């Protein structure tokens, strides 16, 4: 009986949280679609989220691409199938590792930063101050952040992550594993299909939405002082990562399930 009560409480609490996030998301989208708009704020967020995330995204995917090439080479050489390396690297990076790794890195960087910034604004009454200055916080703070992440994830970050990841595999294969440069590139291009790229960009858009939504939701609802901001930041990153992993599976099933 006790077990059932605990289980029920967990389910109710989960549904309540999901409902609150749903209302928050709906409110944000409504405000996103109605004026006034804040293009200056949107551009500032796009630079912060897109441009400043490039180094860490590039570095991570470069080395992951290279490591992936080593692993595939070792595995495929057991069956004399080394020639499949470029194909597996490009499909692995574009379909899966590029968007997912990029999502997780951006979740750590951007979601945490949004939660900490908005949380601090909440506990220092800056959000209240915005309202007294006739400015709707959802329009000025939340909408530009979510829109900027949804734009920059597919159009800049994941494109860069996919490209640099594939290049990491290419560089390792041609410099250490004895692959011919032209053959490697031809195999990569031949086996990459449009659907792979569309799936990658779709994942990036979905991840971008969840990363910014979790960061904004937890930051906006932060309570208390420094501890409250810390809790909001942790919750933002953890929930963004969970949402990325779950939605990654769902989108993969949508595109590639036979």
Partner 1 sequence: MINKTPKIELNGLRKKFNEKVVLESVGLKVMPGESMVIIGGSGSGKSVMLKCILGLIHPDSGSIKIDGTEMVNISNKDRKSILNKFGMLFQGAALFDSLPVWENVAFGLLAQRTYERDEAKEIAIEKLRRVGLSPDVGILNPSELSGGMQKRVGLARAIATNPDIIFFDEPTTGLDPIMSDVINELIVECVKDVGATAVTITHDMSSVRKIADTVAMIYQGNIIWTGPRDLIDNSGNDFIDQFVNGKASGPIKMEILKG
Among 13, 34, 131, 175, binds partner 1 (CB under 8 A): 131
Which residue, 188 or 212, is less far from partner 1 as judged by CB? 212
Which residue, 121 or 192, is less far from partner 1 as judged by CB? 121
Give the rounded distance of the alpha carbon of 27 from its chain centre: 21
What tokens does 104 get? 């997780």
Which residue, 37 or 255, is less far from partner 1 as judged by CB? 37
Cβ pair 106, 211 in contact under 8 A: yes
Among 71, 84, 87, 135, binds partner 1 (CB under 8 A): 135
Min separation Cβ 210 and partner 1, Å: 24
The Cα–Cα gap between 106 and 157 comes to 9
Site membership for partner 1, residue 126 (CB under 8 A): yes
Site membership for partner 1, residue 39 (CB under 8 A): no
Among 3, 5, 33, 134, binds partner 1 (CB under 8 A): 134
The Cα–Cα gap between 63 and 231 comes to 32
Which residue, 9 or 223, is less far from partner 1 as judged by CB? 223
Total residues at the site for partner 1 (CB under 8 A)? 15
Min separation Cβ 115 and partner 1, Å: 15
Site membership for partner 1, residue 221 (CB under 8 A): no
Among 4, 33, 133, 182, binds partner 1 (CB under 8 A): 133
Site membership for partner 1, residue 128 (CB under 8 A): yes
Site residues for partner 1 per CB under 8 A: 36, 117, 120-121, 124-126, 128-135
């Amino acid at each position: 009986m006790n077990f059932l009560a605990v289980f029920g409480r967990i389910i109710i609490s989960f549904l309540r949280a999901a409902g609150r996030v749903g209302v928050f998301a709906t409110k944000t989208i409504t405000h996103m679609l109605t004026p006034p708009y804040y293009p200056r704020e949107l551009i500032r967020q796009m630079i912060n989220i897109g441009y400043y995330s490039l180094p860490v995204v590039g570095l991570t995917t470069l080395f992951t691409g290279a490591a992936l090439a080593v692993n595939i080479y070792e595995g495929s050489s057991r069956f004399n199938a080394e020639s499949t390396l470029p194909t597996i690297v490009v499909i692995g990076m574009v379909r899966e590792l590029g968007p997912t790794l990029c999502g997780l890195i951006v979740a750590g960087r951007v979601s945490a930063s949004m939660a900490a910034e908005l949380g601090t604004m909440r506990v220092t009454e800056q959000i209240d101050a915005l309202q007294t200055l006739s400015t709707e916080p959802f329009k000025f703070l939340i909408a530009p952040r979510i829109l900027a992440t949804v734009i920059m994830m597919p159009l800049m970050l994941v494109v860069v992550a996919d490209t640099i990841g594939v290049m990491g595999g290419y560089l390792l294969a041609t410099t250490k594993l004895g692959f011919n440069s032209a053959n490697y590139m031809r195999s990569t291009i031949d086996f990459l299909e449009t659907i792979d790229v569309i799936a990658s960009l779709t994942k990036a858009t979905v991840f971008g939405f969840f990363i910014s939504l979790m960061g904004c939701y937890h930051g906006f609802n932060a309570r208390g002082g420094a501890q409250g901001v810390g809790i909001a930041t942790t919750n933002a990153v953890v929930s963004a990562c969970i949402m990325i992993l779950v939605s990654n599976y769902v989108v993969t099933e949508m595109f590639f399930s036979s």
